[in-house]
Amino acid sequence: MNTPSRLIAATCLLTLAACGEQQPAAPAAPLPTDPSAQVRVVLPVSPMSPDWIEIARQRDCPVVGEIAKERCPYGSVHYNRHTITRSVDGSVANIWTQTTHGAPQLFQAETETTEMNIRYTRMRLHYRFRCNDNTFAIVERQIMGDNDAVVHREQPREIYREPARWSPVAILMPIACRGGTLQP
């Protein structure tokens, strides 16, 4: 092996060895004394992990079943690991999700003066969980357009209910309510 090859091999080995090194931990600041204060939740994931982490895939069929033996397109549900907050006492948690549909969806909205029909393939939802009684509510819904621009936003009345078994919300609840560590 010639000298340039050895130099390249040594550089590659040093680079690979540095990949597993942990960053030095910053001194921990105390949590707020107010038990209802919302603080950030940090999940134990690689710094190389994407912001949006997939938790579910779903089929976007116009009607139940498959039409004319054609397969329905798949969509996906993600959560943003940087948007999780939880109260210091663990009773309330918040998280944002993003649903990308495999086929365009129709959203109908109206204001006092306008009726809108919006076709979209991406929607974001802000969920709030009451961790002690395992219920959730939708705090905000955003319909996304091109380049992730919000084309419609609504804040429905918060109606708390239990999540359906095996739904994305049921998967998210333990992540938001009990996952990670609290950071002030």
Task: Determine, yes or no, domain membership for 63.
Answer: yes
Task: Kindly calculate the radius of gyration of the chain based on its CA atoms and give it in whole angstroms.
Answer: 22
Is there a domain that residue 21 lies in? no
In this prediction, residue 180 carries a pLDDT of: 85
17 belongs to a structural domain: no
**Rounded Cα distance, 163 and 146, in Å:** 30
Task: Please state, in angstroms and as integers, the Cα–Cα distance from residue 55 to each residue in 2, 78, 107, 174, following that order.
Answer: 48, 6, 23, 13
Domain count, the chain: 1
Residue 69 confidence (pLDDT) = 56
Is 13 domain-assigned? no
pLDDT digits (tens), the chain, 184 positions: 566 555 555 554 445 444 544 554 555 677 777 777 888 888 888 888 899 999 988 877 665 555 555 677 788 999 999 999 999 999 999 999 999 988 888 888 888 898 989 889 999 999 999 999 999 999 999 999 888 899 999 999 999 999 998 889 999 999 999 988 888 8
CB 83 within 8 A of CB 96: yes
Judging by DSSP bridges, how do beta strands 74-80 and 52-59 pair with one another?
antiparallel
Q: Which one, of 48, 53, 94, lies nearest residue 76 by Cα? A: 53
In a domain, 6, yes or no: no
Is residue 171 in some structural domain? yes
Q: Name the strand (E) or helix (H) holding 170.
A: helix 168-178
SS3 content of the chain, % helix, strand, coil (to 5): 15, 45, 40
Contact yes or no for 136/146 (Cβ under 8 A): no
Could you tell me if residue 141 is inside a domain?
yes
CATH no. for residue 60? 2.40.128.710
Provide the pLDDT for residue 58.
80
How far is the CA of 156 from the CAs of 16, 127, 131, 138, in angstroms? 49, 11, 20, 7
| Structural domain boundaries enclosing 126 | 38-183
Give the DSSP H or E segment for 6: helix 3-19
Token digits for 130? 């009451």
Amino acid 24: pLDDT: 47
Tell me if 122 is assigned to some domain.
yes
